[in-house]
Amino acid sequence: MRARSKTGLLMRLLTLVAWLLLLAPFALSGCAGEPPDPRFAEPEATVRTLFTVYDIADLGEAEVQGLLRQRVQFQVRDRAAYEACFADWRDPHDEGLAGFVFGRLAALKDHLRYERSADGDTMRVIPVRDGDAGHPIVLRRTDTGWKIALRESVPDELRQRLYRVYEEARRRERG
């Protein structure tokens, strides 16, 4: 009788192990968290999200360039999505940096070259005009998707100048 109960116990254990092995992938996939936001799932999606926020995603490059030449003021349609495009958005003074990035990408929106780093966690988006590469816009892979790194995308001198302009405007505002 003891042999029979050992065999029964062994069979129950084997059945339990088999079920655990079968169900483990399903249980573990539930632990992976939410799927990534499709707006930031790939660098191209992040750039398109930025264009969508400004309502130019479906415009051609020539049309966007015409608007830029006319000095049309582009309006942000979705503030939360706009700020979510950036890895290092901190304060209102980052608006100038974001404007520079938007302008660089929008002006040559149909001529953007994407270059991924060797580690796969950085993407350089390079606007190309007549074969000449412009200043790259840097995107970093984050826990929430691909985001534009403002401070890496705007040249240091321009970044400092934009901050000074912002501070001067704030001083004038305060009186």
Residues 6+ apart with CB under 8 A from 117: 123, 124
More confident residue, 117 or 23: 117
CA dist 77 → 55, 69, 72, 80, 81 (Å): 7, 21, 15, 9, 9
With beta carbons less than 8 A apart as the criterion, state whether 144 and 37 touch.
Answer: yes
Residue 3 has pLDDT above 60, yes or no: no
Query: Distance between alpha carbon 66 and the CA centroid of its chain, in Å?
Result: 27
For the chain, the domains span: 38-174
26 φ, ψ to 5°? -70, -40
Residue 73 has pLDDT above 50, yes or no: yes
Residue 16 has pLDDT above 60, yes or no: no
Q: Please, which pLDDT band fits residue 68 given cuts at 50, 70 and 90?
A: very high
Residue 145 has pLDDT above 70, yes or no: yes
Residue 29 has pLDDT above 50, yes or no: no
Residue 119 has pLDDT above 70, yes or no: yes
Task: State mean pLDDT over 24-38.
Answer: 60
119 φ, ψ to 5°? -80, -10
With beta carbons less than 8 A apart as the criterion, state whether 127 and 68 touch.
Answer: no
According to the model, what pLDDT value does residue 173 have? Answer: 87
Residue 41 has pLDDT above 90, yes or no: yes
What would the two tokens of residue 110 be?
């149909």
Q: What's the rounded Cα separation, in Å, for the pair 131 and 82?
A: 30
pLDDT tens figures, 89-114: 988 889 999 999 999 999 999 999 99
With beta carbons less than 8 A apart as the criterion, state whether 175 and 114 touch.
Answer: no
More confident residue, 10 or 18: 10
According to the model, what pLDDT value does residue 13 have? Answer: 57
Q: What's the rounded Cα separation, in Å, for the pair 136 and 126?
A: 5
